[in-house]
Amino acid sequence: MASSDRHTTMGWLRVAAIATAALTVAAAALAVLALYAALHPTRELKPRPIDYSSTGRLSYLAHAAPASIYGSAMAGTGEPLFLSSITNLTFTYSFALRSAARGSFTGKIWLEAVLENDGLDRTLAAPTPASFTGTSGTQTMALQLPAYLAAVNAMNLATGPSLYTLAIVPKVQAAGSLGGRPLNLVFGTPVDFSASASSISPIALVTGASAGAVQGGQPTQNPYAQYSSGSVYATSLKASHIEVGLLSLPVAWARGLGAVGAIALFLAALATSRWSTNRRRRDPRLDLEWRFHSVLVPVSTWPKGSFKYIGVTSPTTLARLARRLETPILEVSNPTRASFLVLEGAVAYTYSIDVTQVTSEVGKAPGPVGQTDGIAARDPGLLEQRIGDAILDAGGAPAQDHSHDSGGITQGTTR
């Protein structure tokens, strides 16, 4: 393989190594996600608000003489009532509950008329409840005008002529269920009128709940309308979620995504690693450069000098020798053969491969050249003696002891 092609292949091997690591980390992360999701239920009971609103509306109607100030036979809601011109005054209160959920209630509605002045009050019409079922109901109350005038005159005698307040007091009590949840209601706000012996008149809009006209926290423009809202909470099975950073994933999705994604990424990492391994197996020289590039130094020619050459059977042995001797592995190559050397004084440890031969197993190229070719696999003791004799023949003197153990080698040398 040409040098430029080998460098290109080394670049792709580096990319494959990075991709393998990244895919492995991503697969591990997705596996953790799947495991974490497996510890959580896919569905759980969660509270669900059921909103509702209650409305009430008061109206009144009185019969009048056709020739009276009203110009018709009726005086209705919003008009002042002059007692000299009307008869048969009737108040009606209508209640309704609205919600998107289905509701069922039974309840009662009361209407009461109370005359008030300086802490004194007198009930003019005793409340008689009207029953209703469902979500709406109506109650009607007739105010007896003779009884009203008698009460006003009695108060005038006690306190002197004065203006009084006539409070029409509605009250709703209901019990039932809304959306399958129990709900009890108490509703109603008094509506006040200015009252005297000659007339009953609506009081101008009063801000707040006392006007009976509050909607959404703000007073409405109709003092006869009342509004309130609320919620009951039901529970329902909903998909459970887990938080992953800024994402909120359903547990079922997280399980599937984690498991399938982890398997897919692991297989991709395995395929990338397998491609890299197979590529290096087809080129033992490339494999050596990949594995031992940190200690490998290419040179153009063999080192000059008289050396005793000792072949080793494993590139791993040569790499360990280089690291323990703290010396590089020299690579001398030609178009047909690549030799790798580690120098220790007058001794050169060598490992050679035939670069033209495609092999099926890393490190199984034609054996190394040298005096001990193949000995390490057969007799480590004989290799130890050969290496020692070779170094002594090179004229070395006793020195430090080095131990090398790989590929069946255990060596003690002197120089």
Each residue's pLDDT tens digit, 365-380: 334 433 334 434 334 4
What is the reported pLDDT for 114? Answer: 92
Identify the DSSP state of 119: T
Say what the pTM is. 0.51
What is the reported pLDDT for 2? Answer: 57
In angstroms, the CA 282 to CA 276 distance is 10
pLDDT greater than 50 at residue 394: no
pLDDT greater than 60 at residue 197: yes
Residue 365: count of CB within 10 angstroms of its CB: 23
Poorest-pLDDT segment among 140-144, 233-237, 308-312: 233-237
Which sequence spans correspond to the domains of the chain? 17-42+242-281, 48-236, 285-410
Residue with tokens 């430029």: 4
Environment class of 152 (CB within 10 Å of its CB; exposed 0-12, middle 13-18, buried 19+) = buried
